[in-house]
C-alpha cells in the first residue's frame, strides 16, 4: 500500500502559495530559487546531509535573516533599557544609564491585556455530520472539556503571552507541538526564533507558514539522545557519532538539528544523519493481517485495511507562527510596534537628558578667581565640591564676592517639556495603551473620558493583534486534538465505526481586552433588574468559586438546615420554629 504521508509530501514541489523573497524579483518567471532535489525517506543519508546543509546555508546567508537579526537585536536593547549605552552618557548612579523606558512600559501594559483570559475553545460538528445523534453530542462535549483541560495543564495563557512577547521583540512568535510523556497530554512549547531555520522565500499568512521545511537547533544530553536512538532502531554509526562527539562523557549536552517536512522528520549532527522517520504526529492507514472463518469453520488468511483517524486533513509540520505586520515577502514581520517607536523613545531620552543637564546647571555654576582668592587650580576644584555639598570655605584675603561668584542657570523653554509629553503620548497611542496606563489617563478628568480612552485602546488592540492571537490559539487547539487522536487511547474509536468530523475554533472576541470595572457594573445593573442568574453574576465579578456561592444562596432560601448544619444555635432555632405550629402557637421570627 502506498505511503500516504510521502504521497502528500510529493505536492510540495509546486510553488502554490509560496512567495519570492527580497533576493528575487517578484515578477520574474521560471525558477526563482536554488534548484533543490525532493527529500523523502528513501533519500540516502549522504544526499540528506547535502540537502539539509544547503537549506541551512540558504537561511544563514540570506539577506532576510541578516536584516531581521539587526532589527530584533535593536528591539532587545530598547526593551531592556540599554538604548545609547555609551561611556559619555549621563547616568543616574553607578553604571545605570538615565533612560525613561516607555517601550518597556507600553509593551508590558499591552501584553497582559491581550492575554488576560484563556481563549475559550468551541467544538462543533462539521456540516455533513448528524447533530441529532447522542453519540456525536457526547463526543463534542467530551472534546471541549478535554481541550480546556489540556490548555490549563499547558498554562496556555502564559505561553500565549510569551509568544506575543517574542512576536513584539523578534517579529515572530513560534509554537511547537508534541506529546508530553510525563503528563501524557499534548504539549505546547514557545520556541525562541533564534533556534529556527526557515525557508527565506516563505512567508506566514492567514493560512500559516508557506515553506516546505523547518529546522530547529535542539540540545539534549548524550545519554538521553543515545537512548532515543537505540529505541528508534538508529544505525550504529549514528550512536557512535554521538559518543565520539562527547568522548563517552554521556552527561554532556549535544546540539543537533531537527528537520521537518510535512511527510518526515530528520535529525542531523555535523555530517551524520542520526534519525529519520515518517511524520510521527499522523495516524497512517495500515493493513493488518488476520483470518476469516467460513460457515464450515475453515480459517483463511485475510488482510484488512484500517483507516487512520486524524483531525488535520493532511500531515503538518508541528509548528504554528504568530505574525501580524507581514507584507508577504519573508517569514517574519517586516516591522513591529517597537520598531515604529524607536524614534519616539530616542527623543524622550534626549529631552530627559537635556532637562537633567539643565536642572544641574540651575544649581548655579561657580566662577573662582585664582589670583583674588589665593587658591591654586586643584584647591579651586575642592572649593567647588565643598560649596555644592553645602560646606564652608576660607579664603586668605579679600572679599568673597570678588574671589568666588555664582552664575544663575537659565530655564528651558516650555516647548521642551511639551515635546516630552507629546512623544510619550504618541508612543502609547501606537501601542494602544494610552487609556490603560495611569499616566495616560491623568489628563482625563471625567470618568466618561477615561472610559472612552479605554474603549479606544480596546478597539486599537482588538483590531490589531487580538484577532491574530485568537487565530494562533485556534491553531493550538486544533493541534491538541490531532495529537489526542494520535497518542491518547481515550480518543481511539471502535474500529470500522464512522468517526464524525469536528470543527474546533476559538470564541470570537475571547481575547479582547475587557475592563473589569465596566463588566462588574454591567453585571450589577442586570442583577438589580433580575436579568442575570446568580452564578453568571459571580462569574462576571470574578469570584473564585461562583458555583458554590450560587448554590449556597439557593440552599439558604430553600434548605437552610444544610447551609447551617455546623451551627448548633441556628439548628436549635430552626427546630424551635418548626415545633411551634405543632404546639398550637404562632411561629415567632428568629431575632438576633
pLDDT tier for residue 435 given thresholds of 50, 70 and 90: low
288 pLDDT exceeds 70? yes
Tell me what the mean pLDDT of segment 140-144 comes to: 88
**Are 126 and 501 spatial neighbours (Cβ–Cβ below 8 Å)?**
yes
Q: Are residues 230 and 292 in the same domain?
A: yes
Tell me what the mean pLDDT of segment 166-193 comes to: 94
- Which residue, 280, 419, 406, 396, is CA-closest to 346? 419
Q: Are residues 209 and 309 in the same domain?
A: yes
| Higher-pLDDT residue of 452, 498 | 498
| Higher-pLDDT residue of 457, 150 | 150
Beta bridge partners of 322: 173
Tell me what the mean pLDDT of segment 152-161 comes to: 92
DSSP element (H, E) containing 504 = strand 502-506
Specify the 3-state DSSP secondary structure of 91.
strand
Q: Are residues 318 and 203 in the same domain?
A: yes
As a whole number of angstroms, the distance between CA 332 and CA 329 comes to 9
Tell me what the mean pLDDT of segment 265-282 comes to: 93
Q: Are residues 572 and 523 in the same domain?
A: yes
Max Cα–Cα distance, the chain, nearest Å = 135
447 pLDDT exceeds 80? no
Answer whether residue 162 is part of any domain: no
As a whole number of angstroms, the distance between CA 384 and CA 368 comes to 8
| Higher-pLDDT residue of 571, 82 | 82
pLDDT tier for residue 5 given thresholds of 50, 70 and 90: very low
Of 101-110, 241-250, 297-306, the one with minimum mean pLDDT is: 297-306
pLDDT tier for residue 56 given thresholds of 50, 70 and 90: very high
Domain boundary among 380, 408, 436: 408
As a whole number of angstroms, the distance between CA 466 and CA 153 comes to 23
In which residue are the cell numbers 452564578 written? 535
Q: Are residues 295 and 402 in the same domain?
A: no
Answer whether residue 376 is part of any domain: yes
pLDDT tier for residue 12 given thresholds of 50, 70 and 90: very low
Domain boundary among 408, 437, 463: 408
Task: Return all residues near 547 (Cβ < 8 A) that are at least 6 apart.
Answer: 535
| Higher-pLDDT residue of 81, 410 | 81
Q: Are residues 372 and 287 in the same domain?
A: no
| Higher-pLDDT residue of 565, 17 | 565
Q: Are residues 277 and 386 in the same domain?
A: no
Answer whether residue 382 is part of any domain: yes
| Higher-pLDDT residue of 573, 347 | 347
Whole-prediction pTM: 0.73
- In tens, the pLDDT along 503-540 reads 999 877 666 555 565 567 777 778 888 888 888 887 77
Q: Are residues 271 and 314 in the same domain?
A: yes
Q: Are residues 315 and 270 in the same domain?
A: yes
Tell me what the mean pLDDT of segment 121-140 comes to: 84
Answer whether residue 500 is part of any domain: no
pLDDT of 559: 80
Ramachandran angles phi, psi of 438, nearest 5°: -60, -40
pLDDT of 445: 46
**Are 371 and 461 spatial neighbours (Cβ–Cβ below 8 Å)?**
no
As a whole number of angstroms, the distance between CA 444 and CA 425 comes to 13
Q: Are residues 231 and 291 in the same domain?
A: yes
Of 41-55, 304-318, 546-560, the one with minimum mean pLDDT is: 546-560
pLDDT tier for residue 389 given thresholds of 50, 70 and 90: low
356 pLDDT exceeds 70? yes
Angle, CA of 117, 119 and 120, to the nearest 5°: 115
As a whole number of angstroms, the distance between CA 243 and CA 225 comes to 10
Cα R_g (the chain), whole angstroms? 34
Q: Are residues 279 and 379 in the same domain?
A: no
Tell me what the mean pLDDT of segment 78-90 comes to: 70
As a whole number of angstroms, the distance between CA 255 and CA 537 comes to 53
pLDDT tier for residue 493 given thresholds of 50, 70 and 90: low
Q: How far is CA 535 from CA 200, 253, 279, 540, 551, in A?
A: 52, 52, 46, 9, 8
Q: Are residues 277 and 226 in the same domain?
A: yes
Give the residue numbers spanning the domain of 258: 1-50+198-334
pLDDT > 70 fraction of the chain, expressed in percent and rounded: 72
Answer whether residue 100 is part of any domain: no
Answer whether residue 327 is part of any domain: yes
Answer whether residue 8 is part of any domain: yes
Of 34-48, 379-393, 447-461, 558-572, the one with minimum mean pLDDT is: 447-461
Q: How many domains does the chain fold into? A: 3
Answer whether residue 539 is part of any domain: yes
**Are 263 and 9 spatial neighbours (Cβ–Cβ below 8 Å)?**
yes
As a whole number of angstroms, the distance between CA 526 and CA 537 comes to 8
Ramachandran angles phi, psi of 22, nearest 5°: -70, -15
As a whole number of angstroms, the distance between CA 546 and CA 516 comes to 16
pLDDT of 1: 39
Q: What is the 3-state secondary structure (H, E, C) of 412-448?
A: CCHHHHHHHHHHHHHHHHHHCCCCCCHHHHCCCCCHH
498 pLDDT exceeds 90? no
Question: In the predicted model, what is the mean pLDDT of the chain?
Answer: 79
pLDDT of 483: 94
pLDDT of 81: 87
Domain boundary among 334, 356, 382: 334
Of 134-148, 166-180, 231-245, 489-503, the one with minimum mean pLDDT is: 489-503
Amino acid at each position: 500500500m502506498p505511503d500516504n504521508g510521502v504521497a502528500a509530501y510529493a505536492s510540495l514541489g509546486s510553488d502554490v502559495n509560496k512567495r519570492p523573497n527580497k533576493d528575487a524579483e517578484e515578477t520574474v518567471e521560471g525558477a526563482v530559487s536554488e534548484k533543490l532535489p525532493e527529500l523523502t525517506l528513501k533519500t540516502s543519508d549522504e544526499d540528506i546531509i547535502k540537502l539539509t546543509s544547503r537549506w541551512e546555508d540558504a537561511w544563514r546567508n540570506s539577506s532576510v535573516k541578516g536584516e531581521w537579526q539587526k532589527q530584533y537585536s535593536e528591539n532587545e536593547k530598547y526593551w531592556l533599557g540599554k538604548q545609547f549605552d555609551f561611556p559619555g552618557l549621563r547616568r543616574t548612579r553607578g553604571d545605570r544609564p538615565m533612560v525613561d523606558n516607555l517601550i518597556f512600559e507600553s509593551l508590558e501594559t499591552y501584553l497582559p491585556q491581550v492575554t488576560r483570559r484563556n481563549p475559550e475553545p468551541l467544538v462543533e460538528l462539521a456540516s455533513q455530520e448528524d447533530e441529532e445523534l447522542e453519540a456525536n453530542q457526547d463526543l463534542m462535549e467530551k472534546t471541549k472539556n478535554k481541550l480546556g483541560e489540556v490548555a490549563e495543564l499547558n498554562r496556555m495563557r502564559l505561553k500565549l503571552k510569551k509568544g506575543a512577547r517574542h512576536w513584539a521583540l523578534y517579529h515572530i512568535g513560534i509554537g511547537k507541538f508534541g506529546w508530553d510523556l510525563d503528563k501524557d497530554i499534548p504539549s505546547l512549547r514557545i520556541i525562541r526564533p533564534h533556534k529556527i531555520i526557515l525557508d527565506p522565500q516563505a512567508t506566514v499568512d492567514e493560512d500559516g507558514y508557506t515553506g516546505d521545511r523547518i529546522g530547529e537547533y535542539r540540545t539534549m544530553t548524550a545519554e538521553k539522545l543515545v537512548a532515543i536512538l537505540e529505541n528508534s532502531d538508529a544505525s550504529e554509526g549514528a550512536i557512535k557519532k554521538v559518543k565520539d562527539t562527547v568522548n563517552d562523557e554521556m552527561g554532556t549536552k549535544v546540539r543537533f538539528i531537527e528537520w521537518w517536512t510535512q511527510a518526515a522528520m530528520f535529525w542531523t549532527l555535523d555530517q551524520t544523519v542520526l534519525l529519520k522517520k515518517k511524520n510521527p504526529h499522523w495516524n497512517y492507514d495500515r493493513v493488518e493481517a488476520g483470518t476469516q472463518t467460513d460457515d464450515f469453520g475453515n480459517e483463511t488468511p485475510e488482510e484488512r485495511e484500517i483507516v487512520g483517524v486524524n483531525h488535520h486533513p493532511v500531515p503538518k509540520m508541528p509548528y504554528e507562527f504568530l505574525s501580524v505586520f507581514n507584507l508577504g515577502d519573508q517569514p517574519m514581520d517586516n516591522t513591529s510596534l517597537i520598531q515604529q517607536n524607536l524614534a519616539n523613545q530616542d527623543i524622550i531620552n534626549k529631552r530627559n537628558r537635556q532637562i537633567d543637564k539643565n536642572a544641574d546647571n540651575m544649581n548655579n555654576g561657580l566662577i573662582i578667581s585664582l589670583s583674588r582668592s589665593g587658591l591654586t587650580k586643584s584647591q579651586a576644584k575642592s572649593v567647588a565640591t565643598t560649596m555644592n555639598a553645602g560646606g564652608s570655605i576660607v579664603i586668605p584675603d579679600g572679599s568673597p564676592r570678588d574671589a568666588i561668584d555664582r552664575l544663575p542657570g537659565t530655564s528651558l523653554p516650555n516647548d521642551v517639556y511639551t515635546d516630552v509629553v507629546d512623544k510619550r503620548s504618541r508612543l502609547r497611542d501606537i501601542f494602544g495603551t494610552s487609556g490603560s496606563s495611569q499616566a495616560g489617563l491623568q489628563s482625563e478628568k471625567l470618568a466618561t473620558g477615561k472610559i472612552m480612552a479605554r474603549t479606544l485602546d480596546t478597539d486599537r488592540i482588538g483590531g490589531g493583534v487580538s484577532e491574530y492571537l485568537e487565530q494562533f490559539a485556534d491553531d493550538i487547539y486544533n493541534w491538541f486534538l490531532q495529537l489526542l487522536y494520535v497518542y491518547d487511547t481515550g480518543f481511539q474509536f471502535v474500529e470500522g465505526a464512522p468517526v464524525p468530523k469536528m470543527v474546533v475554533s476559538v470564541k470570537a472576541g475571547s481575547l479582547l481586552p475587557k475592563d473589569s470595572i465596566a463588566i462588574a457594573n454591567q453585571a450589577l445593573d442586570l442583577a438589580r433588574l433580575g436579568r442575570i442568574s446568580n452564578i453568571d453574576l459571580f462569574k462576571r465579578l470574578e469570584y473564585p468559586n461562583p458555583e458554590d456561592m450560587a448554590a449556597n444562596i439557593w440552599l439558604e432560601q430553600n434548605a437552610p438546615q444544610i447551609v447551617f448544619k455546623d451551627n448548633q444555635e441556628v439548628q436549635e432555632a430552626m427546630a424551635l420554629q418548626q415545633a411551634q405550629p405543632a404546639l398550637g402557637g404562632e411561629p415567632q421570627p428568629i431575632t438576633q
